[in-house]
Amino acid sequence: MESNFIVQQLRSFIIENFLFDQDGNVKDEDSFLQGGILDSTGVLELVAFLEEKYGITVEEGELTPENLDSINNISVYLSRKMGRGQEEEGESAMGAVNPGGNK
């Protein structure tokens, strides 16, 4: 699955579920925590979405901001989980993913 496509899917999910289709301006590097976008229920919804959509299992130890706090962070996390870390790093340099976005 293309990294750009994943980012687009993530953005659509975030806008539909947490911004109520009202704000399409969420940036890929925007922190969900700092923006007050995700509460504890939102995290549950996000994890369920990732597990269902991408066929992964989000482990307890992976429930961290580093993995889930922005579209970019999730994208990097997904790439790693789906075993495409090396390949996606190349694409991220083209702007689809910014691993340092939340740091």
Q: Return the residue of 15, 19, 33, 82 that touches other proteins, per CB under 8 A.
A: 33
Asked whether position 22 contacts other proteins by CB under 8 A, the answer is no
Question: How many residues sit in the footprint of other proteins (CB under 8 A)?
Answer: 18
Cβ pair 26, 101 in contact under 8 A: no
Binding letters toward other proteins, positions 36-75, x by CB under 8 A:
x-xxxx-xxx-xx-----------xx-xxxx-x-------
**Residue 69's CB: how many other CB atoms inside 10 A?**
23
Cα-to-chain-centroid distance, residue 60: 17
